[in-house]
Amino acid sequence: MPRIFKNEAALTPEYIPSKLPHREEQLKQLETYFSGFLEDPGSMYPKVVLIGRPGSGKTVTSRKFGNYVVRSSERVRYVHVSCFLNRTLSSVLKDIGVQLNIAIPKRGGFSTEELLKMLLDMVREKDIYAIVALDDVFHLVNNSGPHALGTLIRLGEEYVSRGGDKYRFGLILISQDLTFRDQLDRSSQSALGNAVIRFEPYTKDQIFEILLARAQEALIDGVYDEEILEMIADVAGVDEHLMDEHRGGDARYAIDILWRASKLAEMKGADRILPEHVREAIKNTLRGIRSDELRMLPLHEKIFLLAIVRSLMKNPNSPYIPFGTAEDEYQMLCEQYGQEPRKHTQLWEYLRDLNTKGFVETRTSSKGMRGGRTTLISIPSEPPGNVRGGVGKDN
């Protein structure tokens, strides 16, 4: 059978490519912001915020910077914490501890203040310096409130001001927008400062170059031509005149399509990737949805998403369903799964989260049942059957 991949891992979401086209500027900025800390650890407490839409390269650029940190300094470590996975202050602190190889008790009994103190004591005792990246930090704020983040921002500072120690940390906060900053109290806001690095959505040409670089690492020479990559760039890149739309310019989406098209070519025994493979891959790739995020949604949020999908499939003639319909379906599903249903207000939280992540779209109608306003929910651009597969898998 003809081979398509030479290194399939290079098309997975976790892979850190050797080059990051069009993010050289952002990398350089990171290096500049942290150069003082790297040269003389403990002398300052640099903090910077990375902002950009989904798939604009924030996570991969920060990790790449992490590799640079480890290469260029013997003393400073890099710690990358996903606030999607760690949504509370204590869970973030524990994850930092694990990555720094510091023994912090895994189980309860300790307040976050105690955990924080343990972490700082150990960091001092072991003479550790670290740049900590808090990825998707809005999850922490949404789940645990702004105070949790405020505490983290002032992590090293209070210790120093009490005359105890040097600055042990640098901080990178990663988010899709700046709303989390507005929620912080004033002193945390001012402690955070104004250093922001922006990640603009990728244009079609930029997506093309990113795909080319990834294809060179992942695929055997000659199994793809540029026309294939252009097809993908056309659907994934942002249009100049659509610049302010919510979606587009998403490299994750583009790479996902390339991976699926390559996989299809391989499955069908083709000796190269053909336009039909790309077309089919596009059809099967849910725009803006992150399969890793889908997998990691809390159980009840997943059930609620499944309820939305089911309601939409039961009403194939309408692109939207009212919130109430989804809620009824959710109740039924809970019964089916033997789960205690979450409260109405919690479902609104889920809906907001699903909306932020691009799983669903919502709009308000004025033609509600009793003349009131109703929230309508839809799933953008793709047949809902695809989501059903994804949700079903882990339930």
Ligand X SMILES: Nc1ncnc2c1ncn2[C@@H]1O[C@H](COP(=O)(O)OP(=O)(O)OP(=O)(O)O)[C@@H](O)[C@H]1O
341 is an interface residue for ligand X by CB under 6 A: no
Listed as own residue / partner, the contacts of 68-75 with beta carbons closer than 8 Å and 24 or more positions apart are 68/27, 68/31, 69/34, 69/38, 69/131, 72/38, 73/38, 73/41, 75/41, 75/129
Q: Pick from 59, 61, 91, 374: which binds Mg ion (CB under 5 A)?
A: 59
Q: Is 211 in the site for ligand X (CB under 6 A)?
A: no
Of 246 and 314, CB closest to ligand X: 246
| Position 176 contacts Mg ion (CB under 5 A) | no
CB of residue 62 vs ligand X: minimum separation in angstroms?
A: 8
Applying CB under 6 A, which part among 48-56, 90-98, 258-266, 383-391 lies near ligand X? 48-56
52 binds, among ligand X, Mg ion, none (CB under 5 to 8 A by kind): ligand X
Positive/negative CA dihedral, 366, 367, 369, 375: negative
Return the bridge partners of 365, or none.
374
Cα of 229 vs its chain's centroid, Å: 24
Q: Name which position in 4, 23, 79, 169 contacts ligand X (CB under 6 A).
A: 23
Which region, judged by CB under 6 A, interacts with ligand X, from 19-27, 138-146, 259-267, 386-394?
Answer: 19-27
The C-alpha atoms of residue 227 and residue 233 are separated, in whole angstroms, by 10
Least Å from the CB of residue 226 to ligand X: 17
Question: Residue of minimal CB distance from Mg ion?
Answer: 59
Site residues for ligand X, window 191-210 (CB under 6 A)?
Answer: 210
Select from Mg ion, ligand X, none the partner in contact with residue 252, using the beta carbon and a kind-dependent cut-off of 5 to 8 Å: ligand X
CB of 251 to ligand X, least distance (A): 3
Question: Does the footprint of ligand X cover residue 247 (CB under 6 A)?
Answer: no
Q: List the one residue from 47, 58, 80, 260 that touches ligand X (CB under 6 A).
A: 58
Q: Does residue 262 bind ligand X (CB under 6 A)?
A: no
- Smallest distance from Mg ion to CB 56, Å: 9
CB of 343 to ligand X, least distance (A): 29
Q: Which is nearer to Mg ion, 250 or 301 (CB)?
A: 250
Comparing CB distances to Mg ion, the nearer of 45 and 138 is 138
Cα–Cα distance measured from residue 246 to residue 386, given in angstroms and rounded to the nearest whole number: 21
Among 91, 142, 143, 176, interactor with ligand X by CB under 6 A: 176
Q: Does 260 bind ligand X (CB under 6 A)?
A: no
- Residues lying near ligand X in the complex (CB under 6 A) are found at 13, 17, 20-23, 52, 54-60, 136, 176, 210, 251-252, 255
- Residues lying near Mg ion in the complex (CB under 5 A) are found at 59
